[in-house]
């Protein structure tokens, strides 16, 4: 009797294991930098889980689909310190995860990409907007779900030109990435026929971003800084470093709107976006993370959904098959932006509409009407194939 029972239990166990073995396990890693950057506005201060929260939601979405296909997704998150070598952590992550979502600075991402190249791990850059990662420094194992600076600048430029605000006063911060953003804005002005009437630099002289009586000073400082400008329609600020741009609206010498790093900002996503079925996604995100969804969350969500889309279409968790499918001509992903998102095959950048937001509402979505392109209107945003310096390897 006991023998018979043991046999039965053994059989039951074997069956369960067989069932479990049928399910395809797909490991997704998330590699970011610990700590958050400081912003001028307290409400814009990113949460500790900025980015990875989007990946978490996409894992849930993938698993809802996965249960019908016997695919199961897991997420493993690691954070490195700001100046730490990312390679050991990335290599450890790659042991169990064939796909890694990264929110790393450009140099760290390149290190990781080169270290994991022979392993076949597929990387998704969800955080870095640097042009060079898609141009001279592009890599065959890095797919970019984050937009580029030029895509963001072009999205804004198209709208300002559509609005006939074509005389720009450009104010640039003194840090490197501010200058890169200014380059992208200058390029947008040239492409779409806007005129930069004057450029000013806002020097970062250091100091605290928040003080108990800071406003009195700013209120006197900003009008003086913006006075005696030639006639202009809109002040465009390039301040990725969060030093001054948010101080500009309502304080300029002339009564002019502000765009760029404050006022009307181009972003891949916003908590106010509710078109094209996005409300459901915003609700799901809120329910899971108890906060609203940021652009970085969306970029990570999209990356994980790209993996899920490819595993369901190929019915496989094999990294080679999935990579080939994502890079192939049949790949597209839906991301609540009113159109399918596809990859630019020459540099693995995800094509995407860019939202123009004011912090409370989505004001517009670029590409704007009338900006035409022979392949995809989404390619009116950012560097196009003929301009590209990327050679994938």
- Interface positions with other proteins (CB under 8 A): 61, 64-65, 68-69, 277, 279-281, 283-284, 305, 309, 312-313, 332-334, 338-340, 376-378
Question: Smaller CB distance to other proteins: residue 175 or 313?
Answer: 313
Give residues with Cβ within 8 angstroms of 38, minimum separation 6: 45, 209, 242
Instruction: Give me the least distance between CB of 227 and other proteins, in Å please.
Output: 43
CA distance 343 to 349: 6
Instruction: Give me the least distance between CB of 254 and other proteins, in Å please.
Output: 36
Question: Smaller CB distance to other proteins: residue 256 or 337?
Answer: 337
Number of Cβ atoms within 10 Å of the Cβ of 385: 12
Question: Smaller CB distance to other proteins: residue 61 or 384?
Answer: 61
Among left, alpha and beta (phi > 0; psi -120 to 50; other), residue 126 is alpha
Question: Smaller CB distance to other proteins: residue 230 or 329?
Answer: 329
Side by side, the strands of the sheet bearing 195-202 are 195-202, 167-173, 234-238, 258-260
CA distance 28 to 206: 39
Instruction: Give me the least distance between CB of 192 and other proteins, in Å please.
Output: 19
Question: Smaller CB distance to other proteins: residue 65 or 89?
Answer: 65
CA distance 181 to 198: 16
Instruction: Give me the least distance between CB of 269 and other proteins, in Å please.
Output: 16
Question: Smaller CB distance to other proteins: residue 179 or 284?
Answer: 284
Q: DSSP secondary-structure letter at 121? A: P
Instruction: Give me the least distance between CB of 34 and other proteins, in Å please.
Output: 31
Instruction: Give me the least distance between CB of 58 and other proteins, in Å please.
Output: 10
> Residue 41 has which token pair?
């506005």
């Amino acid at each position: 009797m006991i023998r018979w029972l043991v046999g039965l239990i053994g059989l039951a166990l074997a069956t369960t294991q067989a069932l479990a073995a049928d399910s395809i396990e797909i490991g997704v890693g998330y590699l970011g930098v610990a700590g958050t950057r400081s912003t001028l506005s307290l409400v814009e201060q990113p949460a500790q889980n900025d980015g990875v929260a989007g990946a978490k939601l996409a894992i849930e979405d993938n698993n809802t689909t996965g249960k019908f296909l016997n695919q199961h997704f897991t997420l493993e998150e690691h954070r490195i310190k700001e100046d730490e070598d990312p390679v050991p952590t990335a290599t450890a992550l790659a042991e169990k995860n064939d796909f890694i979502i990264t929110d790393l600075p450009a140099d760290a991402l390149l290190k990781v990409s080169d270290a994991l190249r022979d392993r076949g791990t597929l990387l998704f850059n969800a955080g870095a907007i640097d042009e060079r990662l898609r141009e001279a420094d592009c890599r065959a194992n890095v797919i970019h779900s984050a937009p580029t600076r030029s895509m963001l600048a072009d999205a804004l430029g198209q709208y300002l030109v559509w609005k006939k605000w074509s005389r720009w006063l450009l104010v640039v911060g003194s840090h490197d990435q501010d200058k890169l953003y200014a380059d992208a804005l200058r390029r947008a002005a040239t492409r779409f026929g806007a005129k930069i009437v004057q450029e000013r630099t806002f020097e970062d002289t250091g100091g605290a971003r928040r003080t108990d009586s800071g406003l009195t000073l700013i209120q006197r400082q900003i009008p003086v800084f913006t006075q005696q400008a030639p006639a202009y329609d809109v002040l465009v600020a390039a301040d990725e470093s969060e030093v001054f741009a948010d101080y500009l609206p309502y304080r300029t010498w002339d009564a002019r709107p502000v765009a760029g790093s404050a006022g009307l900002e181009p972003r891949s996503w916003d908590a106010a976006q509710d078109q094209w079925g996005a409300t459901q996604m915003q609700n799901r995100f809120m329910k899971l993370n108890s906060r609203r969804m940021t652009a970085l969350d969306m970029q990570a969500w999209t990356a994980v959904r790209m993996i899920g889309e490819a595993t369901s279409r190929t019915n496989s968790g094999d990294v080679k098959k999935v990579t080939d499918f994502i890079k192939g001509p049949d790949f597209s992903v839906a991301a609540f932006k009113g159109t399918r998102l596809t990859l630019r095959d020459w540099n693995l950048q995800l094509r995407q509409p860019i939202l123009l937001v004011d912090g409370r509402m989505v004001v517009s979505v670029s590409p704007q009407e009338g900006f035409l392109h022979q392949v995809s209107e989404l390619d009116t945003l950012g560097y196009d194939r003929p301009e590209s310096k990327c050679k994938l390897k």
